[in-house]
Structure 1
Amino acid sequence: MKNIIFSIMKTNRILTSLLIVLAMLISCVQDDDYTIPESLGSEENAGLQAIMDGLSSGVMSEVSIAELLTLYTGQPTEIVSNIVVKGYVTSSDRTGNFYKEFYMQDAPENPTAAIGIVLNQVDSYNQFNIGREVYVNLKGLYLGENSSEVLVIGGTIDGNEVDQLTGKQIPKHIFRSQTTEEIVPLVVEPSLVNDSHFGMFVTFENVQFPLSLVGKAFLDPNDDFDTQRTLVSCADGTEFPVETSSFASFIQEPLPVDARGSISGVITQSFGGDERVMVLNSTDDINFIDDRCDPVFEESFNSAIDNTVLNLDGWINFAEAGSVLWTEQVFRGNGYAELNPFSSGDVSVISWLITPGIDMDAQEGEILTFQTEHAYPDFGHDPLEVLISTDFDGTEGGIANATWSPLDFDVSYKIDYGTWYNFTSSGEIDLSSYTGTAYIAFKYSGSDTGNQNMTLHVENVTVTVP
């Protein structure tokens, strides 16, 4: 009889335990529609209330994301003060394009700073959905760079990088409130994106994918991890990569190449910090509804072969004085034309780079844009002239006999020599008054002596019509 009673009691305990586990599992699951829960759970509510009480009593202090970023010392930095930071989630791993991380910015609209959080948790969108107000108790956590050289909050250190908060650290340090705000994307020109935008949800307007990507999907099937697809700005020809993880749910969707419009995503960097990229939360954030803005003429130099003499079909590369020719260069996957007189020994360098002929009678309202940049201080020397001719015969021998008219463009690229490989747009240059066949020339004048050996880069030469 005792054995029977014991067996019944044991069975009841097992059933009770199973029911408790089942109830716990049900309480943890949230719908994918991001409905704000009526209750965050007693433990999470208690943790958030403890933060509020600590802030109210002065035991804790709230810092802004911008203030937090200034605490970085150049290596993983442990936070030892009782400080708290608040933000609004900008990323989502719902489609698999983010993995064990999320980003948050300091305001739902017009943010001024953002930061990432790396954590050992998948499907975090169920808890930290886009727009969710999140508080992070920073004491005992680390501030530093992740594998993409973007500043993040983490729970451990892996060499010179900050690593994930563990599963046990997450509920002790990250607390969401019951507030979910609409994240209004920050409208930014691709050419103006900088490190301050890391983690922000931004929109590029008036952009398109190049026609060379017709028939391509978001992921290249030959890539093991990530694929970058180039966006092109219709305003100034600036190129900006959209990066897609091989684990994203939309990898086989075709790129929307038949139109242009706006696209929204989170700004971060590719693995190793090689270049800034936009990462999509979802392809629902692409709104391409306008006709394409395909240019009358375009040269991105993306076919460049690194460190070779520039040799493109129809282009003229000619040294009027000295021996230095324009070269093809590639940096972080981006091709461009370069003129570098350094170590040539030439006391005079005059080098021409001339486009193929452009038919100015086939359309109206032509606008020229290009981008320039230099790699070393110029000491006040201005080496570049941009010229146009409609009586040039298209041969090297005809350069001296042609009429070349100067074009005005933005020369601020000469000033910001502290940051290399930040190209400056020329601004829109009106070519609508020209007829016939036009040639655009980039004429470099300098020397390998004195202070006139500035290295110059040119890319994204484009002629468009409204």
Structure 2
Amino acid sequence: MSTKKLLKIALTLMISVACFSCVEDDDYVIPASLGDEENEGLTAIMDSIASGDITEISISELVALYTGTVTLIESDIVVKGYVTSSDRTGNFYKEFYMQDAPENPTAAIGVVLNQVDSYNQFNLGREVYIKLKGAYLGENSSEVVTIGGQADGDQVDEFTANQIPNFIFRSENTMEIVPLVLNPSEVNSSHLGMFVTLENVQFPMSLAGKTFLEPTDDFDTQRNLVSCLNGFEFPIETSSFANFIQEPLPTDGRGTISGVITQSYGGDDIVMVLNDTSDINFTEDRCDPVFEESFNTAIDNTTLNIDGWINYAEAGSVVWTEQVYGGNGYAEFNPYNSGDTSNIAWLITPGIDLDSQDGEVLTFQTEHAYPDSGHEPLEVFISTDFDGTEAGIATATWQPLTFDVSYVVDYDTWFTFTDSGSIDLSSYSGTAYIAFKYTGSDSSNENMTLHVENVLVTVP
């Protein structure tokens, strides 16, 4: 943690202590009108846009101007947005995010400013105009494209208190921000700064009794949500300065959760940050699965050895391995540089009881790398007469399952998993085994790396 960030945190504590006795959150009321100076400043901007002295650009056009280094903006341009974040609970600090429309946004951007309790002025949904000439465009400490008033090395720094009234103007409009509804696996970097609702999610029961902040964490805690659609895990990040850090996580149901999509400090992970816990709406029963394997017990770069699973090489020297990237575990098959003329390897689940419930659905995720000439190495099968032994693989009846698959063809989208889609298992009964079978060849350039993640059988 940088000295600069520690100083900022200390300042927040001093301000909070000084103001606690004189300001209560419950007394907060959004001003009904703007001050004269604000009205005059915004009127001047609108007049300049109308006369052509200033050009209004969209957030997406502004983001496109970012070239990878902090840049001083020298053109007479202005950008408009709608605030998506709130620092009222302390989960955001000296920043806000804004998107280009109250509903169905296409782009968003961050704003850093030397102002605490900015929700009093730049409240959720507030329409904001920012004069950009003399401002800086770059990335914040989470590597999200951001507007600021200064440059600090390779990062953009805050608008000072003196700069704020000359650059940032709110209109009288406060709009309802209609969240963009997504499944967790659909979230990507294009959503950074947007207010998003994740559907059909829950916290795993392993977090029952836990609070939003891990008591031993000094600054931030990530708690994973799990999608009931496909088992995809997505982190919720909470600052140690949020006022809800000691609230227990809601683990007794599932539903929707809404917040701002951003990145963790240093830009390592895409995360959701809550404005308030009132944006959690878990009103449905949990979707605890019939079978689940997230591979999160994986030990990086070791032979896959999970209780009940069979890891068997029918041909060649390579077997499935356990891998971990960014804290996420998964199964990998990689025959590259093995020299094998044939690689056939099975990864088979433990037996799954299909008689205790009806309407089972299988989902999983896959990801390909180093694509070859178009050879698809993965087949997925189900068997209800397999005896659970390596010797019995050859004699069992394996019925193929149809699933969605896509190739990752460049390094920029490496570690982008593809959902299998919902695979109906309701016609099967008894004890079933799901097999992931890799077929390829290192010597014939059919040696792409394959990842399998979040194998899940549920009753939707």
Tell me which residue corresponds to 2:74.
Answer: 80
Matches within 5 A, 1:261-272: 261-272=255-266
The question of whether the paired residues in 1 share the 8 Å contact of 2:369 and 2:408 is answered with no
Equivalent in the alignment of 2:15: none
- For 1:417 and 1:172, locate their aligned partners in 2 and report how far apart those are by CA, in whole Å: 42
Deviations for 1:366-385, whole angstroms, at most 9, x for unmatched residues? 10000000122232010000
Tell me the SS of whatever aligns to 1:139.
coil
CA distance in 1 between counterparts of 2:127 and 2:26 reads: 18
Distance 2:25 2:324 in 1: 47
Cα drift, residue 450 of structure 1? 3.1
Deviations 1:258-299 (A, max 9, x none): 000010000001111111101000000000000000100000
Is 1:259–2:249 an aligned residue pair? no
Match of 2:140 in 1: 146
Kept in 1: contact 2:370–2:409 (CA 8 A): no
Partner of 2:50: 56
Residue among 158, 180, 186 paired with 1:164: 158
1:391 and 2:385 matched: yes
Change in CA separation of 1:380 and 1:233 when aligned onto 2, cut-off 3 Å = same
1:79 alignment partner AA: I
Secondary structure at the aligned position of 1:47 is classed as: helix
- Residue 314 of structure 1: aligned partner: 308
TM-score between the two structures when normalised by the length of structure 1: 0.92
Determine the C-alpha separation between the residues in 2 that align with 1:73 and 1:30. 43
Residue 324 of structure 1: aligned partner? 318
Q: Find out whether 1:295 has 2:289 as its counterpart.
A: yes
SS of 2:391's equivalent?
helix
Counterpart position of 1:20: none
Matched residue, 2:273? 279
Q: Are 1:114 and 2:108 an aligned pair?
A: yes
Once the two structures are superposed, residues 126-159 of structure 1 have per-residue CA deviations (whole angstroms, 9 ceiling, x without a partner) of: 1100011100001111111111111111111122
Paired with 1:174 and 1:378, the residues of 2 have a C-alpha distance of: 51
- 1:112, CA displacement in angstroms? 1.1
Change (3 A) 1:361 1:30: closer
Contact 1:87–1:106 (8 Å) recurs in 2: yes
Change (3 A) 1:219 1:36: closer
Distance 2:325 2:410 in 1: 19
Partner SS for 2:87: coil
- One of 351, 366, 369 as aligned partner of 1:375: 369
Of 401, 404, 421 in structure 1, the residue corresponding to residue 398 of structure 2 is 404
Partner of 1:446: 440
What amino acid sits opposite 2:375 in the alignment? H
The root-mean-square deviation of aligned C-alpha atoms, in Å, is: 1.6
SS in 2 for 1:232: strand
Aligned residues of 1:207 and 1:260 also touching (Cα < 8 A): yes
Partner of 1:243: 237
Q: How many angstroms apart in 1 are the aligned matches of 2:388 and 2:446?
A: 29
Q: Give the alignment partner of residue 220 of structure 2, picking from 226, 247, 258.
A: 226
The 3-state SS of whatever aligns with 1:212 is helix
Residues 93-149 of structure 1 show CA distances to partners (whole Å, capped at 9, x for unaligned) of 000100111000111111111111011111111110001110000111111111111
Greater shift after overlay, 43-52 or 191-200? 43-52
- Of the three residues 36, 39, 45, the one matched with 1:42 is 36
**Partner secondary structure for residue 414 of structure 2:** coil
Residues 90 and 102 in structure 1, CA contact (< 8 A), matched pair in contact too: yes
- Amino acid in structure 1 at the alignment position of 2:299: I
Kept after mapping to 2: 8 A contact 1:298/1:461: yes
Q: Using the alignment, how far apart are the partners of 1:30 and 1:427 within structure 2? A: 49
CA distance in 1 between counterparts of 2:442 and 2:395 reads: 27
Q: Deviations over 1:321-365 (max 9, x none)?
A: 111111111111111110011121212111111000001111111
The CA deviation at 1:419 is: 1.0
TM-superposed CA distance for 1:412, in Å, is 2.0
- What residue identity is the alignment partner of 1:402? A
1:421 aligns with 2:434: no
Task: Return 81-90 or 188-197, whichever deviates more.
Answer: 188-197
CA distance in 2, matches of 1:272, 1:250: 24
Amino acid at match of 1:449: S
Q: Which runs of 5+ in 1 are unaligned?
A: 1-24
1:465 to partner: Cα distance: 0.7
What amino acid sits opposite 1:130 in the alignment? Answer: L
Aligned to 1:4: none
* Alpha-carbon offset, residue 34 of structure 1: 6.0
Give the CA deviation at 1:38: 3.8
Report the alpha carbon displacement of residue 389 of structure 1 after superposing the two structures with TM.
0.7
- Bigger mean CA deviation after superposition, 43-52 or 178-187: 43-52
Give the letter for the 1:346 counterpart. D
Contact in 2 for aligned 1:201/1:266 (Cα 8 Å): yes
Q: Displacement, 1:418?
A: 5.2
Aligned counterparts of 2:204 and 2:159: Cα–Cα separation in 1: 40
